[in-house]
Amino acid sequence: MYKQILLAYDGSQAGQKALLDCQDIVQWSGAALTLVAVMPRDIVFAAAEGGFYDPENHAREKKSYKNVLEQGLRSLTDSGFKVSGEVLVGDSVHEISSFARKISADLIVVGHKHEKNWVTRWWGGSGSSALVEHAPCSVLMVIT
């Protein structure tokens, strides 16, 4: 039986489905639930003189990810679930795996959308698949 579930939430259609499926699992297991939204590390813009960091862009992006996280938290609390959440910054696979270890999660839930275009599948790889390789616990990929 699950005791601690980590839901990686991005607000996408796949993320929404994962959130809904996760509710059923939490109800069934009585597990604690934590949501995370993972913001990629800022890209440093290259110029002829070198790179630069835009703190205003960072603040806008952080606010956007915080809003996505709050939407997921609100949806769950409105449904009667007790849930906590956090915005993480960095590589999604690394951050989700590390956070799962930190909270001793025994299940990670992520949404996943199959790519129809073979070039996209080949070139982009799959963060969900990589997560399975690095996760310290079981991973449920909710497919849309």
Domain of 50, CATH number, reads 3.40.50.620
* Burial environment of residue 24 by CB neighbours within 10 A (0 to 12, 13 to 18, 19 or more): exposed
Range of the domain at 21: 4-143
Q: What is the tens place of the pLDDT at every residue in 62-75?
A: 899 999 999 999 99
Residue 6 pLDDT greater than 90, yes or no? yes
pLDDT value of position 115: 61
pLDDT value of position 119: 47
Residue 124 pLDDT greater than 60, yes or no? no
Contact criterion met (CB below 8 Å) for 100 and 106 = no
- Report the C-alpha gap between 86 and 96 in whole angstroms: 11
Q: How confident is the model at residue 114 (pLDDT cuts 50, 70, 90)?
A: low
pTM above 0.95, yes or no: no
Contact criterion met (CB below 8 Å) for 22 and 109 = yes
Contact criterion met (CB below 8 Å) for 5 and 55 = no
Which helix H or strand E contains 17, and what residues bound it?
helix 13-29
pLDDT value of position 43: 55
From the CA atom positions of the chain, what is the Rg in Å?
A: 16
Q: How many domains, the chain?
A: 1
Q: What is the tens place of the pLDDT at every residue in 72-101?
A: 999 999 999 999 999 999 999 999 999 999
